[in-house]
């Protein structure tokens, strides 16, 4: 009997009766036949032995292993205790409800005693399989974080210099005027008087492109090259005479990509003089200013007084890092210690001179107005009885750094702040606590003199403070830390895989040029930084410039990075033994780095590439005997590594690096094969909820510095709010992600329906990107396919996903409602976009692909629509003209309709445009655009995974690992075959265990080796005319244990098998399709 569809609480209520009926409870049957049945890989929230969980409804999972075929779990009993001793004694005190009839070994929600802060849970599971064999798992653990605000005793301590504090106290006062009706510029004047001559420092900014004048003379200020967003505050110094002066701003009316989200024209200035600071409250503004408007003598009495803006950030200029420390004593031996830490900024923490972890750039990117992610670290080994010290270097991180397009400090005002709580449990059971408070000390300068995500880092090793995080340290320049203002955000535990170094890359070549410039090629585009080893004189500076590509002259080419500096400047301290440097508060996307200032070329031993990523376990690898298909996956894998960086970014290199939802929406199918994306998705969906609009609109990217959703929700982008949870539910059987996001998903679906009652998505389509970067587009978002067609297709896909999730989560009425919605959308789509001859929309490939793949073409017209799609592909020279939304579904749409040869024509193509073309041009990651090697550098990433989304098709339809039931309880092996591909397959670590497919197709014979994990069943589709033409391990199918013949489906014989290893041989045509 399967309990997959039963309510857990109902099951547990009857668990006692079940145990009695079984004769004896599983808890008393601890002896097991280990060779016959094993219980392994126990996880909580998809993680092994996590610490710091903050969900009461913790989800548990495990896997079964057995050498026997057809093994399924029939019953299980979870036991949990507050100590290992209680569990081993058979007296679990947290959960001991008896056995439950269920096949599921994943998504078991916690139904034991309520969990408490800091509680460590020891748990195991006892299972019985279909043959009556019993097995008991090893003991596993999980540990809770802090569940109540009262558990926190830490205070936010701030980090800033006295000069910064005084500047920020005066503030950047933004003054505004309305956008202009004729799209002309708006002008601002700020008059101020100086009692005596002297040096002044000007802080100036505007919320769109602007020009600055001082006393009628234009002031040159830095302007970012094609910056994706507003220019940051400019800082200039002038010596001015006594008397009246005027700052003048000409600010363009906002336009272009960011224009719709900028609802005013605003400027700000702060003038620092000796002894006082002048702000911009007295600004005056006008449109169509006359000649001489910027001069000090101009009479602006008829100009309107500018009004104060409430919407602009305190975007103060970039700074370096700060150092914070505290000493403390522990009077007793330590049994366990946990450090819980977050920041408004990013921290690198040490205890007693040792770094607490290799975690980088923590806390990760989030909307700090709503959420600050804290991590819990096991620091037991770093503490000792007696004197101890803790220290943290605090940089701008994701809080203070420029966050496109909103700018610096997009999620809250400065200063940077640190929040930490060290909890020590002693061997006698007592506790000590050390938290951020007034007893900490601050050093306002550090070796990191400048640092920002896009900028890079400048590091002066002469400013290092040896021993600063050890007890007994004494040095000048440290002052008491101040308690800062507590931010409005909630503290949320981050227990998923952190950002950390995952691989070292050796230099493939080192090329030297005149001027002491040396270019290192690592042979692979990736995200991270380099480690540099150097010797030199104190004060000698070494520059590192990062790039994805080289210019024609062999030098690094940073043109596609736009305004991102992407460089490090390291100043040596002069250590004769040598010094080693890695950056702390930035990262880069690059293949090449130019080293200059070293005085010679570095050797291969002196420079290494450090690959950095969210450290997701890799779970899938295709085994395809074709360099193009295997290379496509490898490039996709590297783009996933590079862009799964706390959030799923679009690119790792230019002045963007945002959690674009359109890229994620189409790529998650592929992503969930290559890596375990469960915990990563749960964490990112928090960002999606934080960024959701008041009407239910999911964002274009998350976190979002600008929360403006007035335009609506962008089809294919906003749908990620539904498709990401759906993918995780489908792959891992995880209903927790469904339940935790159900209110947000239903709000989104209601928003679309309320705005489009006729079931064609015509209204409130956000930025309406369409089939972004389609081949025929002159501009990336050109309407090469009707955008209301695309929107309606995406709505249908989300409705289907909602219906499936609702059934999986036992929400039957809602499932029926979404199933009806899907039918209504299908009917409306057919009426609006499908003609009687099977043509769809404007005849674009994208229109056909989405309509066919999402079931929007009436059954009787699918053949005609497919023929028109195939004809257009061939008419163009057998190539795709699709972009971000059409390409990911193209191969599925063709394969669904039997166009197998055309699938391989596209997969194996090496001419432009194709995946093979990228590989032929030396690509080691997926390009943003088909024509990246010919396109505009300002939007041209060479590390952008969206067009690599078809690697999901490679796993499902080439390798033959296609999930049918959530969590791979059932999956299909039905590879798309072609004579040009003699062998294929893949290995995938599913939530139930390893799935392996290996097949060969040649000389009239098809061979397949399949490994099906315990608790799973596979539908196997073989190219054979009948069961008589197939053998399993040399046996006729009726004689093969665990094999059930289902029947014929087209030209495939369909059979079902349970767990185990199978070897099939099918005699048939030499090139079955």
**Digit-coded pLDDT (tens) for 512-567:** 999 999 999 999 999 999 999 999 999 999 999 999 999 999 999 999 999 999 99
Q: Give the closest residue to 688 by CA, choosing from 640, 745, 636, 621.
A: 745
Q: Options 2.60.120.260, 1.10.8.640, 1.20.1050.10, 2.40.70.10; which CATH number does 172-308 get?
A: 2.60.120.260
pLDDT at 666 over 60: yes
Is residue 981 within 8 A of residue 647, CB to CB? The reply is no
User: CA 923 to CA 628: how far, in whole Å?
Assistant: 12
Sheet with 217-219, strands from edge to edge, namely 217-219, 210-214, 243-251, 186-194, 284-287, 304-305
Q: What's the full length of the chain, in residues?
A: 1073
Q: Give the closest residue to 732 by CA, choosing from 969, 987, 1019, 973.
A: 969
User: CA 291 to CA 73: how far, in whole Å?
Assistant: 84
Q: Give the closest residue to 285 by CA, choosing from 261, 257, 309, 263.
A: 309
- Other beta carbons within 10 Å of 253: 19
Which of these ranges, 308-312, 530-534, 766-770, 1037-1041, has the smallest mean pLDDT? 308-312
pLDDT at 852 over 60: yes
**Mean per-residue pLDDT, 314-341:** 97
Alpha-carbon separation of residue 438 from 129, 156, 469, 472, 925 (angstroms): 59, 10, 17, 19, 49
User: CA 170 to CA 275: how far, in whole Å?
Assistant: 12
- With a CB cutoff of 8 Å and minimum separation 6, the contacts of 381 are none
- Main-chain phi, psi angles of 371, to 5 degrees: -140, 130
pLDDT at 233 over 50: yes
Q: Give the closest residue to 64 by CA, choosing from 1058, 780, 976.
A: 1058
Kindly list the domain boundaries of the chain, sorted by start residue: 8-151, 172-308, 317-493, 499-614, 960-1067
Q: Which residues are marked as active site?
A: 656, 928
Q: Please give the DSSP secondary-structure letter assigned to residue 486.
A: P
pLDDT the model gives residue 1069: 52
Q: Give the closest residue to 51 by CA, choosing from 692, 498, 612, 675.
A: 498
pLDDT the model gives residue 11: 32
- With a CB cutoff of 8 Å and minimum separation 6, the contacts of 556 are 519, 545, 546, 547, 549, 550, 592, 593, 594
760 token code pair: 């064609």
**Mean per-residue pLDDT, 265-269:** 98
pLDDT tens readout for residues 241-260: 999 999 999 999 999 888 88
Do 172-308 and 960-1067 show the same overall fold? no
pLDDT the model gives residue 939: 77
Q: For all residues of the chain together, what is the average pLDDT?
A: 95
User: CA 1023 to CA 1026: how far, in whole Å?
Assistant: 9
396 token code pair: 């701008």
CA Rg value for the chain: 31
DSSP string of 680-717, one letter each residue: HHHHHHHHHHHH--TTSPPPSBSS-S----TTB--TTT
Name the residue with tokens 């964002």.
Answer: 699
Is residue 337 within 8 A of residue 425, CB to CB? The reply is yes
- Other beta carbons within 10 Å of 259: 14
Topology of domain 960-1067 in CATH is Maltose phosphorylase, domain 3 (2.60.420)
Q: Options 2.60.120.260, 2.70.98.10, 2.40.50.140, 3.30.420.10; which CATH number does 499-614 get?
A: 2.60.120.260
Q: Please give the DSSP secondary-structure letter assigned to residue 456.
A: E
**Mean per-residue pLDDT, 409-414:** 97
Share of the chain above pLDDT 70, in %: 96
Q: Give the closest residue to 932 by CA, choosing from 919, 915, 918.
A: 918
- With a CB cutoff of 8 Å and minimum separation 6, the contacts of 876 are none
Cis peptide before 913 (omega within 30 of 0): yes
The packing angle between helices 900-907 and 627-643, to 10°, is: 70
pLDDT tens readout for residues 42-73: 999 999 999 999 999 999 999 999 999 999 99
For domain 8-151, the CATH architecture is Sandwich (2.60)
Burial class (CB in 10 A: 0-12, 13-18, 19+), 292: exposed
Q: What is the pLDDT confidence band of residue 35, given thresholds at 50, 70 and 90? A: low
Would you put residue 732 in left (φ > 0), alpha (ψ -120 to 50) or beta?
A: alpha
Alpha-carbon separation of residue 595 from 141, 169, 567, 600 (angstroms): 47, 41, 10, 9
**Mean per-residue pLDDT, 207-228:** 90
pLDDT the model gives residue 257: 86
Q: What CATH code would you report for 317-493? A: 2.60.120.260
pLDDT tens readout for residues 943-1001: 999 999 999 999 999 999 999 999 999 999 999 999 999 999 999 999 999 999 999 99
pLDDT the model gives residue 328: 98
Would you put residue 528 in left (φ > 0), alpha (ψ -120 to 50) or beta?
A: left
């Amino acid at each position: 009997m399967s309990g997959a569809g039963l309510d857990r609480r109902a099951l547990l209520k009857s668990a006692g009766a079940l145990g009695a009926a079984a004769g004896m409870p599983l808890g008393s049957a601890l002896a097991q036949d280990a060779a016959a049945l094993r219980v392994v890989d126990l996880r909580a929230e998809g993680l092994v032995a996590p610490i710091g969980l903050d969900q009461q409804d913790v989800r548990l999972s495990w896997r079964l292993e057995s050498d026997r075929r057809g093994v399924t779990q029939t019953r299980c009993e979870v036991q949990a205790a507050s100590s290992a001793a209680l569990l081993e004694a058979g007296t679990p005190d947290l959960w001991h409800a008896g056995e439950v009839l269920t096949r599921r070994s994943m998504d078991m929600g916690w139904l034991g005693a309520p969990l408490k802060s800091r509680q460590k849970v020891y748990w195991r599971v006892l299972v019985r399989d279909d043959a009556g064999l019993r097995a008991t798992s090893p003991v596993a653990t999980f540990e809770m974080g802090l569940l109540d605000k009262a558990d926190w005793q830490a205070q936010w301590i701030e980090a800033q210099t006295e000069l910064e504090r005084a500047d920020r106290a005066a503030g950047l006062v933004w003054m505004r005027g309305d956008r202009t009706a004729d799209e002309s510029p708006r002008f601002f004047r700020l008059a101020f008087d100086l009692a005596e001559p002297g040096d002044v420092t000007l802080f100036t900014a505007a919320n769109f492109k602007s020009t600055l004048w001082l006393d009628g003379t234009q002031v040159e200020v830095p302007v970012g090259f094609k910056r994706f967003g507003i220019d940051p505050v400019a800082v200039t110094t002038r010596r001015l005479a006594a008397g009246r002066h005027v700052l003048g701003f000409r600010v363009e009316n906002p336009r272009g990509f960011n224009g719709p989200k900028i609802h005013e024209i605003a400027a700000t200035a702060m003038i620092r003089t000796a002894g006082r600071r002048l702000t911009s409250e007295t600004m005056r503004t006008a449109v169509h200013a006359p000649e001489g408007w910027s001069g000090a003598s101009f009479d602006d009495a008829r100009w309107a007084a500018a009004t104060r803006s409430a919407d602009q950030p305190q975007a103060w200029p970039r700074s370096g890092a700060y150092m914070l420390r505290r000493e403390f004593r522990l009077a007793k031996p330590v049994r366990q210690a946990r450090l819980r830490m977050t920041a408004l900024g990013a921290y690198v923490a040490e205890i007693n001179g040792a770094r607490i972890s290799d975690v980088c750039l923590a806390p990760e990117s989030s909307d700090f107005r709503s959420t600050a992610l804290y991590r819990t670290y096991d620091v037991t080994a770093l503490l000792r009885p007696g004197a101890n010290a803790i220290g943290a270097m605090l940089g701008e991180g994701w809080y203070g750094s420029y966050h496109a397009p909103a700018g610096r400090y997009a999620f809250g005002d400065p200063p940077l702040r640190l929040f930490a709580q060290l909890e020590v449990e002693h061997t006698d059971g007592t506790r000590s606590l050390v938290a951020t408070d007034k007893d900490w000390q601050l050093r306002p300068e550090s070796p990191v003199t400048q640092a920002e995500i896009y900028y890079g880092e400048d590091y002066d090793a002469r400013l290092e403070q040896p021993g600063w995080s050890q007890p007994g340290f004494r040095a000048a320049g440290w002052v008491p830390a101040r308690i800062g203002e507590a931010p409005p955000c909630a503290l949320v535990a981050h227990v998923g895989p952190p950002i950390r170094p995952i691989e070292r890359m050796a230099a493939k070549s080192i090329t030297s040029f005149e001027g002491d410039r040396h270019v290192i090629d690592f042979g692979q585009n990736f995200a991270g930084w380099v480690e540099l080893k150097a010797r030199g004189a104190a004060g000698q500076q070494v520059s590192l410039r990062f790039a994805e590509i080289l210019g024609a002259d062999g030098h690094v080419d940073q043109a596609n990075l736009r305004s991102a500096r992407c460089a490090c400047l390291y100043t040596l301290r002069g250590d004769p033994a040598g010094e080693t440097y890695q950056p702390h508060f930035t990262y880069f996307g690059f293949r090449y780095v130019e080293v200059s200032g070293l005085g010679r070329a570095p050797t291969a031993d002196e420079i290494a590439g450090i690959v950095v990523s969210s450290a997701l376990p890799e779970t899938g690898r295709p085994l395809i005997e074709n360099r193009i298909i295997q290379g496509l996956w490898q490039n996709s894998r590297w783009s996933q590594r590079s862009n799964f960086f706390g959030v799923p970014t679009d690119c790792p290199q230019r002045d963007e690096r945002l959690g674009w939802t359109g890229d994620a929406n189409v790529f998650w199918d592929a992503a969930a094969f290559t890596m375990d994306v469960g915990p990563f998705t749960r964490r990112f969906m928090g960002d999606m909820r934080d960024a959701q609009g008041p009407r239910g609109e999911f964002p274009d990217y998350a976190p979002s510095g600008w929360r403006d959703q007035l335009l609506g929700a962008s089809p294919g982008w906003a749908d990620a709010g539904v498709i990401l949870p759906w993918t995780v539910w489908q792959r891992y059987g995880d209903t927790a992600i469904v339940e935790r996001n159900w209110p947000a998903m239903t709000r989104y679906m209601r928003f679309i329906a309320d705005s489009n009652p006729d079931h064609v998505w015509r209204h409130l389509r956000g930025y309406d990107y369409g089939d972004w970067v389609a081949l025929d587009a002159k501009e990336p978002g050109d309407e090469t396919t009707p955008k209301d067609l695309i929107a309606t297709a995406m709505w249908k896909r989300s409705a289907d996903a909602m219906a499936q999730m609702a059934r999986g989560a036992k929400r039957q009425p809602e499932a029926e409602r979404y199933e009806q919605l899907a039918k209504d959308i299908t009917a409306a789509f057919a009426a609006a976009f499908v003609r009687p001859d099977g043509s769809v929309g404007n005849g674009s490939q994208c229109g056909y692909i989405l309509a066919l793949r999402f079931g929007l073409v009436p059954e009787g017209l699918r053949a005609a629509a497919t023929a028109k799609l195939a004809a257009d592909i061939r008419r163009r020279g057998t190539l795709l003209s699709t972009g971000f939304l059409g390409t990911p579904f193209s191969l599925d749409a063709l394969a669904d309709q039997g166009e197998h040869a055309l699938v391989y024509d596209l997969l194996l193509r090496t001419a432009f445009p194709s995946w093979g073309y990228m590989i032929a041009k030396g690509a080691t990651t997926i390009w943003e655009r088909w024509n990246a090697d010919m396109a505009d550098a300002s939007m041209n990433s060479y590390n952008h995974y969206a067009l690599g989304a078809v690697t999901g098709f490679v796993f499902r339809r080439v390798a033959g690992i296609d999930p049918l039931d959530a969590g791979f309880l059932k999956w299909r092996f039905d590879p798309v075959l072609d004579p040009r591909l003699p062998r294929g397959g893949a290995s995938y670590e599913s939530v139930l265990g390893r799935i392996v497919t290996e097949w060969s197709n040649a000389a009239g014979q098809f061979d397949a080796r399949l490994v099906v994990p315990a608790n799973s069943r596979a539908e196997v589709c073989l190219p054979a005319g009948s069961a008589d033409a197939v053998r399993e391990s040399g046996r006729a199918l009726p004689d093969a244990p665990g094999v059930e013949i289902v029947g014929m489906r087209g030209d495939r014989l369909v059979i079902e098998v349970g767990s185990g290893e199978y070897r099939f041989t099918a005699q048939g045509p030499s090139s079955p399709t």
